[in-house]
Structure 1
């Protein structure tokens, strides 16, 4: 590969523990990225939620967001509201921007696993008009070669290009590797990037550091304008990893409850707007604010 720049190596490995979730005894949550924004920019948090609901009582409900985007990848099951139901393998980016209310209600017995990220918005776009983008699994760009299947949900990677529009340059790719298979692809060196192992184990980089199931491996970075190469080799049992890579925005943020802002006064204003009914429900968005791919 010409001008491959740096090789991405693992500089930090974490294994988030499964904690009781807010939806009751059948819900567990792993905080894959949490409370480390100075290090994880532009990723504010990433939760790995698993629900195996065995009764018919509804859980969840409507709640607001503002100042960031939710980036959701459904690994298993179904989840959604009256405007859109996500199925296994579907992807959604909800730009909360100036403020939006959405409903995540699960009625009846259900089994689902959801990766949901809070992605920072550039300071200039923090209060942008809300929008929702849905990319169905069957329409997500994908490629399979040499025992590696890549499904791309956001950005450009491995010769694939997603139709999803981004305020912050973002790559989200679901990568499945057969036993012993390897991937070597270019990646912008300035992107903050990590791998989250869903199944199996992989060796990463030119030093071959191993990541096991449920571990997150943060990768080293280079300078803006440089290229880098991501090298991943599956272990004997094969592997499935999700790659997240995004351009840091280098702006400090204030986080409180469901809101992200630049200062505390803005947080107060968002709570006031929500209490006074100034945030519209996602179901009321116009066609120009909804994108289905």
Structure 2
């Protein structure tokens, strides 16, 4: 049986100025662990060079989507790349990474950074970096619609992206009046974020527009599900959906583990230079 997803709530993102070179707005607030599982946090940032310095992570993956600008990435595990509009970097911090993301000189970057929880069996996995260029991603085409698959699949079109936690991430671009159906396992928890335009979403035709996050209804793990997306005007929207980890979470800054002792260990390891090993 295939169930139809609906939109259970909507959040309008508020962008605030943090400094002369940085504006941001939370899409997923940290702390709502069960609500967003397996996702931990999602921030929309508009920033210039020098906003972020080198910093560590453990126990998570970060997924950065570039809306506009040129973003450079460096880390202490030999990961390096430059991303342009529509590109994604998928970084597995695992047991420890120290990295920095900086706009190219003279560029202002508009981006989304998502944190994905890792299960306890993968918290200390080896770090990994995947550079997902927009033009290299598999594409599903329908009448008036292009669905770019960064992770997971869309009606049989599959990405080769490596996942520790099953995640579907697709970018949908629809012409006015076009509609598409996205398939998802019923167990996946997920949401949409509208980058451009407006449309109707889910079985109830819930209206959404640029700058809004739309959270999907949740269903049984044994069900298959579908999500209907229709464009009122030209629409560009990201869908993130994934398998909940369903484990205890203890977070401290850039470290996300299962227990307080594991957080203390992460801090000690970082202070003792073990993230560089």
Partners of 2:71 and 2:104 within 8 A in 1: no
Alpha-carbon distance in 1 for matches of 2:269, 2:43 = 27
- Partner SS for 2:234: strand
Per the alignment, residue 131 of structure 2 pairs with 134
1:47 matched residue in structure 2: 43
**Cα distance in 2 for residues equivalent to 1:243 and 1:118:** 15
Q: For residues 88-107 of structure 1, what are the structure 2 equivalents within 5 Å?
A: 88-106=85-103
Q: Distance in 2 between matches of 1:189 and 1:271?
A: 37
Contact 1:199–1:240 (Cα < 8 Å) also in 2: yes
Taking the TM superposition and a 5 Å limit, the aligned residue runs for 1:1-293 are: 3=1, 5-21=2-18, 24-35=19-30, 36-51=32-47, 53=48, 58-81=50-73, 83-106=80-103, 108-235=105-232, 237-280=233-276
Give the match's secondary structure for 1:149: strand
SS across alignment from 2:265: helix
TM-score (norm 1): 0.88
Q: Please say if residues 47 and 117 of structure 1, whose CA atoms lie closer than 8 Å, have aligned partners that are also in contact.
A: yes
C-alpha separation in 2, matches of 1:11 and 1:198: 19
Q: Which runs of 4+ in 1 moved over 6 A?
A: none
TM-score by length of 2: 0.93
SS at match of 2:171: strand
Alpha-carbon distance between aligned partners in 2 of 1:165 and 1:197, rounded to the nearest angstrom: 25
Aligned residues: 271
Say if 1:184 and 1:26 are closer, same or farther in 2 by CA, change over 3 A.
Answer: same
Q: C-alpha offsets along residues 181-214 of structure 1, whole Å, 9 cap, x if unaligned?
A: 1011321111001111111111112211111111
Alpha-carbon displacement from aligned partner over 1:118-153 (angstroms, at most 9, x marks no partner):
000112111111111111111111122210111110
- CA RMSD in angstroms, aligned pairs only: 1.5
Distance change in 2, residues 1:168/1:81 (3 Å)? closer
